[in-house]
Amino acid sequence: MQDLLEHWQEKHFTIISVTHDLKEALCLADRILILSPRPAHIAHDIRVNLGEKRSFSDPELLRLESQLLGLLLQK
C-alpha cells in the first residue's frame, strides 16, 4: 500500500480499487463508494479530503474511519 501511495504521489494517475479495509481506502482514496447489498447500487459517496501526505495517525483520517464504520453498521 505504501509503495502504491508513493508512486501515485509522483505520477498522479487514476486508480480504481476494491477493498474491505477502511484504513486502506482512507489512505489511498479521494473518493469512497459504499455499495448496498444486492442488487448493488451506490449507498454512500464519501469524499476524502486529506491531501497527498496521509498518515494512519491523522486525527481526520481516524474521524472519517469512525464515520465510515458507522455507515457500514447501519441497517
- Residues 35-48: pLDDT tens digits? 888 899 999 999 98
HSE-up of residue 26 (Cα within 13 Å, Cβ side): 20
pTM score: 0.71
Contact call for residues 54 and 5 (beta carbons, < 8 A): yes
Q: pLDDT by residue (tens digit) across 3-13?
A: 877 887 788 78
**65 closest CA partner among 55, 14, 8:** 55
Cα distance between residue 59 and residue 11, in whole Å: 27
Q: pLDDT by residue (tens digit) across 64-74?
A: 889 889 888 88
